[in-house]
Every structure is written in C-alpha cells, then in structure tokens.
C-alpha cells in the first residue's frame, strides 16, 4: 500500500509522485508534498480588524455601530455574534444577529471574541 495522501481537490486515493510533486491522475491536480492547505479546499482566509484569522463557527464582536440597509435598525457596538460562516466576496461573513436576523458583515468591522 502507498502512504501518499489523497488528492486535496477530488479526494482520490490514486496519487503518485513525479519529479518531487504529487499528482492526481483523476483530476490532474499537482501539489508539493509539504502543502497542507491547497486550492479551493482551504477556503478564503478572513482576518478581523485586529488581524486575527477567523474560521467557520467562531464567535465575533461588532466594533462599530452598523446601519441595517433598508431598515431603521442598528447593530450596536459590542453585539456578540455566534457561529459565523465565512464566504467569498465584499461582505465575507454570513451570520444571524440576535434581534435582527440573517446578515452579511465585513470582517473589518468585527473582532474575534
């Protein structure tokens, strides 16, 4: 049996080594053996206002009053939001804010709790 890792793109077990790279014959993906987070499997890297890396499921705190578009509601400073989900785009955090509902936030207006 081979002790090579599965492909990070398609999870195929039929990887092989070629000139110092690992290759997947199923999808054609090539990566170096030292890579731990490769391609789309790694997801977006999102940092809060203090530079801390955020991940799915984290709890964050809002650091600035945020107006809710299309409503007279405001998300106040210090509001804690649990179980966030990271997405790609300008507003890179999906979450549910207590008393307001589902929203998308920019990571520059939050800090990791």
- Are residues 107 and 113 in contact, defined by beta-carbon separation less than 8 angstroms? no
Segments of the chain scoring below 50 in pLDDT: 1, 38-40
Nearest to 56 by CA among 80, 85, 31: 85
CB-based burial of residue 71 (10 Å sphere; 0-12 exposed, 13-18 middle, 19+ buried)?
exposed
Mean pLDDT of the chain: 87
Nearest to 80 by CA among 63, 57, 55: 63
* Residue pLDDT, tens place only, 86-106: 988 899 999 999 889 999 999
**The pLDDT value given to residue 7:** 86
* Residue 51 confidence (pLDDT): 92
Read off the DSSP letter of residue 76: -
- pLDDT for 59 equals 95
What confidence score (pLDDT) does residue 101 get? Answer: 92
């Amino acid at each position: 049996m081979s002790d090579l890792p599965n492909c990070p793109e398609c999870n195929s077990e039929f990887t092989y080594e070629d000139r110092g790279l690992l290759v997947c014959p199923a999808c054609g993906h090539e990566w170096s053996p030292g890579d731990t987070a490769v391609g789309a499997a790694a997801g977006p890297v999102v940092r809060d206002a203090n530079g801390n890396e955020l991940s799915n499921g984290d709890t964050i705190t809002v650091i600035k009053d945020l107006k809710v578009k299309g409503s007279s509601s405001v998300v106040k400073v210090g509001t804690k939001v649990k179980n966030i989900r990271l997405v790609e785009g300008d507003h890179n955090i999906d979450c549910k804010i207590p008393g307001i509902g589902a929203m998308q936030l920019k990571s520059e207006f939050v800090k990791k709790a």
